[in-house]
A and B are shown apart, each in its own frame.
Chain A
Amino acid sequence: MSILAVYITDINGQQLFEYPVSDSPPTNKILQVALRDASPEDVILRLSSDELLFHRKQDALDFLIPCTAAMPALVPLEFISHLIKVLHDYFQPPLSRQKIEKNYSTIMMLLNEMIEDGYPFVTEENALRDLVPFAGGLSKFLPTLPKGAANSLKSLTSSSSSSKSFSSDSSLPRSNVPWRRSNVKHNNNELYVDIQETLSVIIPALSPTQQLLNSINSGPNPAPSASAFYTPAVPQVLAEPIVAIAHGSVLATTKLSGVPDIQLILSFGNRLLEGPAFHPCVRLARWRERPGTLSFIPPDGKCCLLQYTISGVESGPIGGDLKTGLGPMKDEFEVRVWSRVPRNVKFVENLRVEVVFDGERVQNVKGTRASSGEFNIEKKGVGVWRFPGKTPMGWNASLRGTMVVNEDLEAGPDGTVAQEFPKYIRISYDCQGMLVSGAKVESLRIVSGKGLDDRAKPYKGVKYLTQGKDIVIRG
């Protein structure tokens, strides 16, 4: 069971970096041939009966790791994740061809520490910072100690010096915090906690009864005048989402000197976290005693303390619906989006609505009229309706249009080609200041800080972000 090599290529498969681990690993050429033959979705390719290729694309780069077949499937994939994290830590995201080419020696040294005997070895960013000089920093010189003092025996014979040499020795793994690099010093002590949730929702089409209720509530259908915009009120009856899942992560950015001990208390209301996952620094016993309590000595810099999943959350600050068969010819569709009345939120950003239809059958979309924003067909079967910048809350917009069906298509049994409508709409946005799960930080304090100046009042900040990734509304 071993990793055979690490290759980094650009998106076209041109090799940028190679790090062979075994004596004669499969070359990038062989891997590229295997990749070409495989379908683009295959994540694990079979090179031979006992060799596999794992790969993942990130930031316009492709990371390729050929392995022997006995390797558990997730080890190389997690390793790539770690490698990307480390490279981001060293060279800042996003990674690029130039960044790789400029830093060959650093990447080589990193991999030399990260893989030992064909298996992941040291992969913590903080531990690696101690081992491999950080790009841009001056190179570390070997400590030239006066002769005699270099003798470890001597230092070990006296109690005081031995204990000192242990604590000050930067390369010794401190048994309690192997993930924190040693001798951290910051001029400005800061501590930030970001909670991000990614929201995925599926809202089914309204049932006929619900549609009927809506039409009653909003009065008779507006007069079929093509010129007038139908400005919608938020419909009374909405289909309940059949799926509403939030994947959350609690990120800490610590810039604190010494070895701080932090306690972060979160509340999730009464919601149930499905299978939370923790950074190794989090004391699990405390969490078990009182769920929501994260007690930890953080690694320096960024880290993800907690990942969680909650199902059955709210459907988010943006709503939408899709109606079909409107207008005098019953051939129009209408997409509406609206923002709900917020609690602490003033706006959402990067709002984008994809209108998805059958690209084979639909030739064009004609007579589109949008109350705001811009609608364009961006690729076959997908029209994108964009709202650049900030979108205020308590707002709504609508889009109407007709799908033009490709006339070459075979007609149905009655000789006519059925009218096409969008299949579904897909909404995405970023919304700062709120979390759909209702999670929040109850308290954040630095319990103790060895090496942290008592007078120093670290700046503490908390940020919430909800990303609507996949809000699917079916038509």
Chain B
Amino acid sequence: MAESLSKITAIFETAKELTMEAAASARTATASLGEDGVFRQRDVQRYLNSRHEKEKLVGMKAIATMMSKGQDVTEYFPDVVKNSAAQTLEVRKLVYIYLLRYGQQESDLALLSINAIQKSLGDQNPQIRAMAIKVLSGIKVPSIAPVILLGIRKSIVDMSAIVRRAAAVAIGKCFELDKSNLETLVGYLATLLADKSFYVVGSAVQTFVNICPDRLDMLHTNYRRYCNMLADIEEWGQVCVLDMLTRYVRVYVPKGSMVKKQKDEFYSDDEESAKEAEEQQEDFVIDPDLEMLLAAAKPLLQSRNSAVVLATVNLFNALVPEADLSFLGPPLVRLLSRPSEIQYVVLSNIAVLAIQNNELFAPYLKYFYVFPSDTPEIAKLKIEGLTLSCSESTVSEVLSELQYYATSVDKLLVAEAVRAIGRCAQISNEIARRCLRWLLKQIHSTDHTLVGESLTVIRYIIQLSPKDHIKTVAKLAVALDSATVSLARASIIWLVGEFAGIARYIAPDVLRKCAKNFADEDKNTKLQIVLLAAKLYSYYIEEKPVQEDQEQEDQQLEPTIRPPADPMDLLFDYIMLLARYDTSYDLRDRARLYKSVLSSQSSAPIAKLLLQAPKPSPHAPSPSQGKEKFLIGSSGLVCAHISDARSLPPWSSDTPDASIRDEIKSEETPVFASLPKKVKPKAKKGKKEIKKKKVVVEKLKQVKPKSVKKAEEDYHTTLDEFFGEPAATSAPVMVVEEEEDSEQQEEEEEEDSEQEEEDSESEVEIIVEVSDDSEEEDGEDDSEDEISEEDDENEEGGGGEEEGSESGSDDQGETEDESDDAAARGLLSGQ
């Protein structure tokens, strides 16, 4: 006991010492570098070129700091690249990040690192393999595209899902680099889209969306599988998969339709469907495949990620808008507890959904009540939500709430609330009357915003049905006596003038009253008074018998004793006279215009056009109206004027049979039989490797537990499909087994010697690889037919077996052809 105790203490002691040492070295290292925030180039370089991993790390951290600050650190490129095979994961990662950022600018130097990275592709740690394919595809040097392709090919059949996922991303990046490889890449992507791991599928679909979003036909056999694994895919992947499945259904799955049948197989809960059955005789019948998707998507409404929730809502909204979607309400209102940015986006989407279906959020009105802590933008959207969701039964509740906002201190809120009241008035005449009563009261308020907005809304309501509102005009005229805000006075006078044709007896009296106080009025009000006078006069001369008119003209021409003039004439002349001597140019000009237009009979039609033109009824749509064309959750819906080209394909009327979505169970129908031949692997080495992998898989099959075995079987299938050659499917397992036995013994030595070689001549190899591939491509004919290819493969197969014993089952994929290598080396030295 005591012994063991002392042992433990001893261990602790050493551990402590180690830690202290490490801490001390770290301290000294950092202290001497960048202490004052300035990094001297020589110092940094010294650290980068150090032999000690810790010092390298310090150097790389200094580089990272400079990068994060936005400084240009390309000058360190040679020093950094040297560390691309560093032993410490941290250093290596930082070097990789550096390469990803600056590789493009120093492509020649970046090539130096390719070999080390390529070697990592065969590392036994999947994390490092994944990192390698990530970096390889991320260095934007177009000349290495063939190397990347090779790496991807190797990675898509990797044992580890981490690596396959990284490969899925790499496909997208490789496409960005060199778009000419699209067909090959799509072929690789097809393998990953059919991957068994949900971990891979999310990223594969993301890449699919980026490189070939229109190839929805690639999804036939995956559709049902995706539905099944939807819940397991990681959040960001779910967003992509949901979006893509929505598109797929539009094109390939028949649309749901209303059928008069008693069939109760909808995805909704029991009570809901019971209610549905009560309410409507006809039922909503949908394709089983669509039903499968809807059932799989519904739980995603409970995702903690709001982007997933909106993508799910979009799916339901786009695919089954006819169905009872009341279950979409709660997840959306729940998101209103999130940070204000997310609330803003969610509320914008709620508004659009409510425009399409105003019952959707009717039970959740309370969530749209404005709190003082809401930002103005959110308050605005909440008010819109309230207005859109209110119905005749809830309108009084909503109106009293809006009226509270309308009398608050916040100007923006006031304006928004009064406009909202105007929109509520459209629900029914009864409500319109109620709104009008309240609005008329507000004219006396001292709040300019409230008065101005109220009058706009009053005008709107009157114009909807002018005949019913003669009394309202009268009330307005009365209100003019006590209204103090000049804006309100101007508006009222305009309104009275506008309805002078209908409410004949009101306008002249208003004009009479206004004439009295003309001098005291505000400029705007004066303008309106002059306008009112002109309008009234135009009605007046229109009705006056023509004779009289001429008489009047005569009188004007020859001023003799005038008969007692009509009060209208006098009033008009008086106002014009007042205006003529006003200080405002504008007012004087207008008065002159009206006077000359109205003075002669000949210009009467013009006057009528000018002054009695029927004004269009003001349109007061909800602010979000017109946003329906955007997809739910898209940026276009939230931020106007952007080129968000995303839109859903229309429902196709002619959908293929559902059997195309049958999952492939055997080799019968290869996943991408429809792909062009070119997709088939070209490079010799790659093929060889994959064959070897397959053998491994077959071996695994024998030893793995059942569940894994099943997965591997399917995995195997895809590989066979990949080759599409009978020779491969009936691959002689025996032979390979032999190979492996012998291989394993030789491997150790092999690797040793190989590694040394490669380290010393990294540059050479890249060139070899590149030239190798390009040669092959050159040699290949585009119109190459099956037979010749098969011949090729047979040859290779034979060669592979022989070579197998030589180069071993090199898991790093560096199955260099020795002679080629040597030739290239010779070529180089010749240079």
Contacts and interface: CB of A to CB of B under 8 A. Distances in A.
Nearest to B633: A72
Contacts of B334: 247, 274-277, 307-309
Interface in B410-454: 444, 446
Contacts of B72: none
The bracket for how many chain B residues form the interface is: 35 or more
Given A50-B642, A141-B89, A147-B748, A172 B161 contact: yes
A230 B192 CA distance: 76
Interface stretch (A17-25, A337-345, A383-391): A17-25
Interface string A80-118: 010000000000000000000000110111001000110
A69 B636 contact: yes
A81 B339 contact: yes
Contacts of B444: 413
B29 to A, nearest CB: 12
A123 B236 contact: yes
B333 A274 contact: yes
B306 A1 contact: no
Interface string B686-716: 0000000000100110011100000000000
B642 A69 contact: yes
B64 A74 contact: no
A19 B704 CA distance: 44
Interface in A318-346: none
A462 interface: no
A139 B635 CA distance: 41
A159 B704 contact: yes
Interface string A173-212: 1010010000000000000000000101010100000000
B637 interface: yes
B645 A70 contact: yes
Nearest to B337: A247
Contacts, number: 307
B535 interface: no
A74 B633 contact: yes
Interface string B67-88: 1111000000000000000011
B462 interface: no
Interface stretch (B109-117, B368-376, B523-531, B677-685): B368-376
Nearest to B238: A280
Interface stretch (B93-101, B143-151, B556-564, B796-804): B93-101
A284 B310 contact: no
A322 to B, nearest CB: 14
Interface residues of A, number: 112
A104 B341 contact: no
Scoring A42, A120, A277 by chain B CB atoms within 10 A of each residue's CB, the highest score goes to A277
B126 interface: yes
A423 B642 contact: no
Interface stretch (B202-210, B276-284, B660-668): B202-210
Interface string A52-71: 10111000000000010111
A107 B376 contact: no
Contacts of B19: 138
Contacts of A440: none
A453 interface: no
B88 A142 contact: yes
A151 B124 contact: yes
A133 B90 contact: yes
A151 B641 contact: no
A105 B239 contact: no
A207 to B, nearest CB: 11
B718 interface: no
Interface string A1-32: 11000000000000101111001000010000
B87 A52 contact: no
B241 interface: no
A269 interface: no
Interface in B221-272: 231, 234-236, 239, 243
B639 A44 contact: yes
Interface stretch (B286-294, B295-303, B498-506, B580-588): B295-303
Contact of A151 (B307, B371, B747): B747
B199 A117 contact: no
B197 A470 contact: no
Contacts of A270: none
A67 B67 CA distance: 21
Given A72-B311, A117-B207, A171-B162, A142 B367 contact: no
A472 B89 contact: no
Contacts of B130: 171
Nearest to B306: A74
Contact of A412 (B166, B446, B748): B446
A73 B332 contact: no
Nearest to A285: B299
A279 B334 CA distance: 15
Contacts of B336: 309
A416 to B, nearest CB: 12
B377 A77 contact: no
Contact of B635 (A2, A71, A243, A311): A71
A156 B693 CA distance: 11
B639 A46 contact: yes
A117 B210 contact: yes
Contacts of B199: 173, 175, 178
B134 interface: yes
B304 interface: yes
Contact of A104 (B61, B307, B310, B744): B61
Nearest to B301: A275
Contacts of B311: 72
Interface string A423-458: 110100000000000000000000000000000000
B6 to A, nearest CB: 22
Contacts of B705: 163
B68 A70 contact: no
Scoring A67, A157, A308 by chain B CB atoms within 10 A of each residue's CB, the highest score goes to A157
A210 B253 CA distance: 60
Contacts of A472: 371-372
B622 interface: no
B64 A242 contact: no
B458 to A, nearest CB: 20
Contacts of A359: 409
A105 B94 contact: yes
B65 interface: yes
A69 B631 CA distance: 13
B811 interface: yes
A410 interface: yes
A75 B239 contact: yes
A107 B372 contact: no
24 contacts: A44-B341, A46-B640, A72-B311, A74-B306, A75-B236, A77-B341, A108-B94, A109-B94, A133-B89, A139-B53, A140-B88, A140-B90, A142-B88, A142-B92, A147-B748, A148-B747, A156-B699, A169-B125, A171-B130, A202-B369, A242-B369, A275-B333, A307-B304, A470-B372
3 closest Cβ contacts across the A-B interface?
Answer: A275-B330, A171-B127, A247-B337
Interface of B: 19, 22, 53-54, 57, 60-61, 64-65, 67-70, 87-94, 96-97, 100-101, 104, 124-128, 130, 134, 140, 159-162, 166, 169, 172-173, 197, 199, 203, 206-207, 209-210, 231, 234-236, 239, 243, 299, 301-307, 309-311, 329-334, 336-337, 339-342, 344-346, 364, 366-367, 369, 371-373, 375-378, 401, 404, 408-409, 444, 446, 482, 484, 633-646, 696, 699-700, 703-705, 740, 743-744, 747-748, 751-752, 809, 811
Given A70-B635, A108-B67, A172-B126, 6 more contacts: A73-B345, A73-B638, A104-B69, A119-B236, A159-B703, A413-B444
Interface of A: 1-2, 15, 17-20, 23, 28, 41-46, 49-50, 52, 54-56, 67, 69-75, 77-78, 81, 104-105, 107-109, 112, 116-117, 119-121, 123, 131-133, 138-145, 147-148, 150-159, 162-163, 169-173, 175, 178, 198, 200, 202, 204, 242-243, 245, 247, 274-280, 284, 304, 307-309, 311, 356, 358-360, 381, 410, 412-413, 423-424, 426, 469-470, 472, 474
